[in-house]
A and B are shown apart, each in its own frame.
Chain A
Amino acid sequence: MSSESSKKRKPKVIRSDGAPAEGKRTRSDTEQEGKYYSEEAEVDLRDPGRDYELYKYTCQELQRLMAEIQDLKSRGGKDAAVEIEDRRIQSCVHFMTLKKLNRLAHIRLKKGRDQTHEAKQKVDAYHLQLQNLLYEVMHLQKEITKCLEFKSKHEEIDLVSLEEFYKEAPPDISKAEVTMGDPHQQTLARLDWELEQRKRLAEKYRECLSNKEKILKEIEVKKEYLSSLQPRLNSIMQASLPVQEYLFMPFDQAHKQYETARHLPPPLYVLFVQATAYGQACDDESDSDAEEEQTTKRRRPTLGVQLDDKRKEMLKRHPLSVLLDLKCKDDSVLHLTFYYLMNLNIMTVKARVTTATELITPISAGDLLSPDSVLSCLYPGDHGKKTPNPANQYQFDKVGILTLRDYVLDLGHPYLWVQKLGGLHFPKEQPQHTVITDHSLSASHMETTMKLLKTRVQSRLALHKQFASLEHGIVPVTSDCHYLFPAKVVSRLVKWVTIAHEDYTELHFTKDIVEAGLAGDTNLYYMALVERGTAKLQAAVVLNPGYSSIPPIFQLCLNWKGEKTNNNDDNIRAMESEVNVCYKELCGPRPGHQLLTNQLQRLCVLLDVYLETESHDDSVEGPKEFPQEKMCLRLFRGPSRIKPFKYNHPQGFFSHR
């Protein structure tokens, strides 16, 4: 710095003295250097080993001098002070040497450190460079891989294969000479060709579309022409019908039926086939038709609309139904309409009876032919109020239907025999998902069921007629049953009415029948009143739907000199037994439709016997109310003292059983 400042000053002042100035400067530098005692430079010159030896020597000398001083001090003496001073000076010199050596050591240390530091710095710098380079290498490698992986869109296009390309492409596109060698050019050429081809195909497509339009228009025209033809053909067919009838070939009608029948669901189809087969086999007049159903629904606005709709959905009927007409000998017809409930997989039936002549229904016969109950219990226990398919219970739970009973009036009755005729078989143990319709099941039940149906209709019609007479107080006994009864019967039937099931179970003299399980809700109940003089006999009648194979059951209550029922009078019990247990004699000629009227007539006869054979009470004055007119061998017999209720024909007397 001082040299710089001197440089500045010197040229200003003494320009011409450049050389000497420089010389001065150098000299001053060297002087300065010479003046400046540089220990750094000295460090380089000296040998550290020798310095170490010098150190050790100096320390030894010091120790020696200290020892000598010690000696001299301890000895004392006059010379001692001079020697001590001498030695002290020598020691000081040694101390100086030590200091210098110390400084030199420090300087050496510092130098070493600096050098190390420098070297380290350099190494670090190289290291960093290396890192940078490595990083760049990696980066470049990644870029390279990316570039190599690059797929251009053109590779997604399925190009035609090379051979095809060269074959088909026109030379100005394929440019074989160029493209063979150069894959890039080749690909370009191929893409070119692809484009060309696509353009051509698009052109073709448009052409085809326009063609199609044209053809469709032509088809329309032809269709219209054909549809105008249809009514003309129909009229020809109609014209041919009389010819068909004339030739006894109702080809058309049967054909139409079979056509419609093809659309029937399987159970109805089975029924249709089996019923037609049976009808033909028996030469019977039973016609079966497949019919279209008119569905006219009224939407009721209710609160629970959703549930209601679901229920309707569940209970939906198939639109087609099979109509079966059973003709009986007396020209009455039983019309059966069979429906199929699709979701529940069961069949139902609605029944209707029409007679050759108009029937005037007596009041008590209201239920006999009603569609609801005319077919009830055709087979024992088959009341048709519960669904026969056990799987339906789960379906019902989902939509809140408790039982099918509420809907049978509308939907028809799901009797078990109806399911059998449709070939549906529901095993009681497990509900099955798919129940297959079985033709053999239907065939095996067809004949029995048809016979039962006919018997049912005929017995109901017979009852119908009988009821009309009973309501007028006349017991209609046919001529071939006259032998069962004596000629003169005095007791008369004065009343014949229906009673409700609940009323029957509440009567005090019917408890035994109710307890024995014979008075269910599928039966019909009636009350008859037989009178003679002051005696009134009430008879409660249970009419089983299976009449006349299952006999009506009578329970009696006699009001004459007190109330007598089977609880307190053995003879009333015997009378009931005569009518209920000995019914087989009263069946009359087959098919036994006279059973009820014969039972009623016998009841009148029994009342006559009872009243006339009552022993006269000697304590009471006056004649007997009912003089004995019946011929009896004995009046009483057995421990129970029963009256003679059995009528013997043709002798005409009464005896005991």
Chain B
Amino acid sequence: MERAAQQAVPLGQMEVFQALQRLHMTIFSQSVSPCGKFLAAGNNYGQIAIFSLSAALSSEAKEESKKPMVTFQAHDGPVYSMVSTDRHLLSAGDGEVKAWLWAEILKKGCKELWRRQPPYRTSLEVPEINALLLVLKENLLILAGGDCQLHAMDLETGTFMWALRGHTDYIHCLALRERSPEVLSGGEDGAVRLWDLRTAKEVQTIEVYKHEECSRPHNGRWIGCLATDSDWMVCGGGPALTLWHLRSSTPTTVFPMRAPQKHVTFYQDLILSAGQGRCVNQWQLSGELKAQVPGSSPGLLSLSLNQQPAAPECKVLTAAGNSCRVDVFTNLGYRAFSLSF
């Protein structure tokens, strides 16, 4: 190749295939290690890559520091969701949840500690698990996904205790309301349902698409993302991103964002959201857009805030989505650099 802009390596079959894989990679989930120094990212090929945040953020960071320390094939299908406990990394995708030891994960040939599959009703197609939620007080792991149910698994014994039914279409996202404790779930059917963990019953339903202020029929009615702050909830997806007051089930603020949002979270006094479109959006609670910081992927699917107390120097926001790159924001104003598969 004689063009200076492109790489000079002659591309054989292997290199072309790898390049194509990277171009079509989607990173669905991220999770920060308990020590705060490592970031795990899961992609659509079922691979999990562990990046060293401390190495990439240090002053002697080179290009290799932005590559994963280790990449391994975790699942057969895409890794849609990951959470971390204080010792384990739990990943879920094609119907199974697997656990990995953070202490062992950096070694080559790491095997999962255990794997569990919730009891599914259908056997024709294995439903995916879109969301994992840790309820530490009850030592529970809640899984939700393609079979429209929320399954609760006891972390000690690994048994599935109960399943909550109510959604009519598959579930996208989960959120935990600490105080009660209640779990919120948002799904493809356009409803946000609240479930009480102790009684295992649905206590509230909010059908977002029925509210005129936020519904956008041309996008669909699916709820792609949920976040809750006990009294308040913000959700988005097909309908517009809206802040709700939970007790009264009324939408208080509609955020003027046209693109469907796929991930939302509360951070300090801001709301951060990301979705279709390159940018991480920062909203004031009043509904004003405080900032829009562009990332490197054409669409974002997950945001992760590293707030582990053990590693204050690695306190960053990472965003990943429709590319092989994880953008790292050291301060919310701009993208510092990108880690890449």
B100 adjacent to chain A (CB < 8 Å): no
What sequence of 0s and 1s flags, for each residue 172-204 of chain B, a beta carbon within 8 Å of any chain A beta carbon?
100000000000000010000000000000000
**B170 near A: Cβ within 8 Å?**
yes
Question: Which residue of chain A is the closest to B263 with respect to CB atoms?
Answer: A639
Taken together as a complex, chains A and B put the C-alpha atoms of A620 and B13 apart, in Å, by 48
In the complex, the answer to whether B298 meets A639 with C-beta atoms within 8 Å is: no
Separation of A641 and B223 alpha carbons in the complex (Å): 11
Judge whether B218 and A516 touch: CB under 8 Å.
Answer: no
Known: A521-B3, A568-B276, A638-B130. A577 touches B24 (CB 8 A): yes
Find chain A residues with CB under 8 A from B63 CB: none
Whether A637 lies near B23 (C-beta < 8 A) is: no
Least CB distance from A92 to B in Å reads 139
Contacts A638-B130, A655-B125 known; A520 to B276 CB distance under 8 Å? Answer: no
Q: Does A89 sit within 8 A of B, measured CB to CB? A: no
The CB with the most chain B CB atoms within 10 A, among A383, A577, A615, A639, is that of: A639
Tell me, yes or no, whether A215 is within 8 Å of chain B by CB: no
The complex places the Cα of A638 from the Cα of B302 at a distance, in Å, of 13
Interface size on B, as a range, is 35 or more
Secondary structure call for the B interface? loop
Q: Is A608 an interface residue (CB 8 A)?
A: no
Given contacts A520-B1, A634-B146, A641-B222, contact A551 B16 (CB under 8 A): yes
Q: Which residues of B contact A381 (CB under 8 A)?
A: 1, 9-11
User: Given A517-B7, A581-B20, A639-B28, are A522 and B217 neighbors across the interface (CB < 8 Å)?
Assistant: no
B307 within 8 A of A: no
Does B262 make an interface contact (CB < 8 A)? yes
Q: Which of B1, B13, B24, B220 lies in contact with A546, CB distance below 8 A? A: B13
Contact between A512 and B188 (Cβ–Cβ < 8 Å)? no
| Segment 109-159 of B: residues with Cβ below 8 Å from A | 124-125, 128, 130, 146
Does B295 make an interface contact (CB < 8 A)?
no
User: Is the pair A640, B19 in contact by a Cβ cutoff of 8 Å?
Assistant: no
Q: Which residues of chain A are near B276, meaning CB under 8 Å?
A: 568
With contacts A518-B16, A521-B2, A634-B125 taken as known, whether A640 is within 8 angstroms of B26 at the C-beta atoms is: yes
| Contact A617 to B130, CB < 8 A, known contacts A518-B16, A639-B262 | no
Q: Does A576 contact B (CB under 8 A)?
A: yes
- Let me know if B10 and A570 touch, CB within 8 A: no
Name A517's contact: one of B1, B80, B220, B298 (CB within 8 Å): B1
Q: Which residues of the other chain, B, contact A573 by a CB distance below 8 angstroms?
A: 24, 26, 322
Select from chain B the residue with minimum beta-carbon distance to A513. B23
A521 to B3, CA, bound (A): 8
Q: How far is the CA of A638 from the CA of B9 in the complex (A)?
A: 36
CB distance from B147 to the nearest CB of A (A): 10
Among B1-31, those with CB < 8 Å from A are 1-3, 6-7, 9-13, 15-17, 19-24, 26, 28
Complex Cα gap A636–B219 (Å): 14
CB of B301 within 8 Å of the partner chain: yes
Query: Contact: B170 with A639, CB < 8 Å?
Result: no
Whether the pair A520, B6 counts as a contact (CB closer than 8 A) is: yes
Task: Tell whether A516 pairs with B298 under 8 Å between CB atoms, given A380-B12, A381-B1.
Answer: no
Contact indicator A568/B12 (Cβ below 8 Å): no
From A615, A633, A634, contact of B220 by CB (8 A): A615
A334 CB → nearest B CB, Å: 22
**Residue in A568, A570, A573, A638 with the greatest tally of chain B CB atoms within 10 Å:** A638
Report Cα–Cα, A577/B124, bound state, in Å.
24
Does A638 contact B128, Cβ atoms closer than 8 Å? yes
Contact call A567/B298, Cβ cutoff below 8 A: yes
In this complex, which of B16, B128, B130 has the most chain A Cβ atoms within 10 angstroms of its Cβ? B16
> Assuming the A-B contacts A570-B322, A580-B20, A581-B24, are A638 and B125 also in contact, with contact meaning beta carbons closer than 8 angstroms in the complex?
no
Does A498 make an interface contact (CB < 8 A)? no
- Interfacial chain A residues near B130, Cβ < 8 Å: 638-639
Residues on B facing A (Cβ under 8 Å): 1-3, 6-7, 9-13, 15-17, 19-24, 26, 28, 77-78, 80, 124-125, 128, 130, 146, 170, 172, 188, 217-218, 220, 222, 224, 262, 276, 298-299, 301, 322
Excluding A514-B6, A568-B276, 6 further A-B contacts by CB distance (< 8 Å) are A380-B15, A518-B16, A520-B1, A570-B322, A633-B124, A639-B262
Closest 6 pairs (CB-CB, A-B): A381-B10, A517-B6, A380-B10, A577-B24, A619-B217, A380-B12
22 chain-A/chain-B pairs, Cβ below 8 angstroms: A380-B10, A380-B15, A517-B11, A520-B2, A521-B2, A544-B11, A551-B16, A580-B23, A618-B217, A620-B218, A633-B124, A636-B170, A636-B188, A636-B222, A637-B128, A638-B78, A638-B130, A639-B130, A639-B262, A640-B28, A641-B188, A657-B77
